Amino acid sequence: MSLSTTATLAKAEPATTLQSFGRAKLADYFADFVIYRNLEPLDRRIKGLKSAGYKMGLNNDTIPRKFERDYARAAMWFATEGQRVRKVSKTLSEMLFIGDTLLNDGQAYKNLRALSEWKSACFIGADRLEQDPNAEIDEEENLYHANRWALMGEWMQQTAAQDFHLDQRTVVIVDIDKTALGAKGRNDQVIDKARIQGIFRTMDSVLGKDFDQAAFERQYSELNRARYHTLTADNQDFLAYICLVLNTGLIKYDELLTQFDNGSLHDFEQFVRWVDSRMMGGALRLGEPFRQVHEAVGASLRIGDPTPFKRFRRQE
């Protein structure tokens, strides 16, 4: 049983209540076996995407999205390399995967399970305290989707009962953002707060006095939901850029919702092309800061950079 205490962070802003489950750091559990979003490892004994993409079976150094099969190829290679640098002779044959989103983490797990053919189990969690504790189990994929992180104990009991060895043959893959750090539904509001502050600073620098903060907050809150993940890919850079465009009036919010709901707007790349066409049409004169942001986002997308909104990331 974990004991919980609460702490409050407050200045002139509304208080943020945190749940404390003790203190720890990633290194306590993973040492330097951490892979960054750009698929470059913290442990320098393991090569990353830039120098070893061909060994991973990738055709170029474009950074794959988490839900793409190339991401699974890279993850499998990193897991195998981890065995090598740890000097473990046993070949990996099992995987436990822990994350917080079905779209990204769940699909990454499914791809990696299919590619590796490892005996696998996955826990996707978030605390949704307005709901009764519950878990949906995909028996075909052996994926456990729970609305309480505390149900991870039950998941582990079920996993152990499936005759997993849970030894040196087992790789454990844990998402960082809103899983290991700032668990979704528990303390992820700290991450969201930092992002919102970074976004506001970015919007001020790009739009100046024309920035409509109230409209931004409404639109960001709505689009930051699971039903829009096909558009935003649960990527904060994508979401921030979309809300920036909406704030300029280049594309209307109602217009975006209509296109999304009728199936005409499928993904973020299509949205960026839509912005391209509107800008070329000259329907609305926008300042140089916005043009620079748009060009930078487009250029980053073309090389597969998963964090294309660099100005926002610097502020965050």
Each residue of 260-274: pLDDT tens digit?
Answer: 999 999 999 999 999
Q: Which of the four pLDDT bands, split at 50, 70 and 90, describes residue 312?
A: low
Q: Are 98 and 109 in contact (CB under 8 A)?
A: no
Nearest to 311 by CA among 207, 228, 189: 207
State yes or no: pLDDT of 231 exceeds 90. yes
- The stretch 179-200 carries a mean pLDDT of 84
Half-sphere exposure at residue 134, Cβ-oriented, CA atoms within 13 angstroms: 6
Query: Quick one: pLDDT at residue 188?
Result: 85
Residue 244 burial by Cβ neighbours in a 10 Å radius (0-12, 13-18, 19+)? buried
Kindly list the distances between the CA atom of residue 202 and the CA atoms of 208, 234, 241, 251, 274, in Å, as whole numbers in the listed order: 9, 20, 10, 19, 22
Token digits of residue 302: 């073309």
State yes or no: pLDDT of 172 exceeds 70. yes
Query: Quick one: pLDDT at residue 228?
Result: 93
User: At 267, phi and psi to the nearest 5?
Assistant: -155, 180
- The stretch 200-217 carries a mean pLDDT of 88
**H/E element holding 255?**
helix 253-261
Residue 293 burial by Cβ neighbours in a 10 Å radius (0-12, 13-18, 19+)? buried
The mean-pLDDT minimum among 99-108, 191-200, 238-247 falls in: 191-200
Q: Which of the four pLDDT bands, split at 50, 70 and 90, describes residue 9?
A: very low
Query: Quick one: pLDDT at residue 100?
Result: 95
- Reduced to 3 states (helix: H, G, I; strand: E, B; else coil), residue 53 is coil
State yes or no: pLDDT of 22 exceeds 90. no
Report how far residue 140's alpha carbon sits from residue 212's, in angstroms, rounded to the nearest whole number: 47
Query: Quick one: pLDDT at residue 189?
Result: 82
Query: Quick one: pLDDT at residue 11?
Result: 35
Question: Which residue in this structure is represented by tokens 């099992």?
Answer: 94
Amino acid symbol at 27: A
Token digits of residue 149: 């992180």
Report how far residue 15's alpha carbon sits from residue 129's, in angstroms, rounded to the nearest whole number: 19
State yes or no: pLDDT of 316 exceeds 90. no
Query: Quick one: pLDDT at residue 77?
Result: 96
- The stretch 301-315 carries a mean pLDDT of 68
Assign residue 254 a region (left: φ > 0; alpha: ψ between -120 and 50; beta: otherwise). Answer: alpha
- Reduced to 3 states (helix: H, G, I; strand: E, B; else coil), residue 195 is helix
DSSP class of residue 104 equals I
| Percentage of residues of the chain with pLDDT beyond 90 | 59
Kindly list the distances between the CA atom of residue 48 and the CA atoms of 104, 287, 300, in Å, as whole numbers in the listed order: 21, 38, 19
- Reduced to 3 states (helix: H, G, I; strand: E, B; else coil), residue 99 is strand
H and E: helices and strands count for the chain: 13, 7
Report how far residue 23's alpha carbon sits from residue 39's, in angstroms, rounded to the nearest whole number: 27
Q: Are 77 and 55 in contact (CB under 8 A)?
A: yes
Query: CA 94: distance to chain centroid?
Result: 24
The mean-pLDDT minimum among 11-20, 113-122, 152-161, 298-307 falls in: 11-20
Query: Quick one: pLDDT at residue 85?
Result: 95
Query: Quick one: pLDDT at residue 310?
Result: 63
- The stretch 196-201 carries a mean pLDDT of 83
Residue with the bigger pLDDT between 305 and 277: it is 277
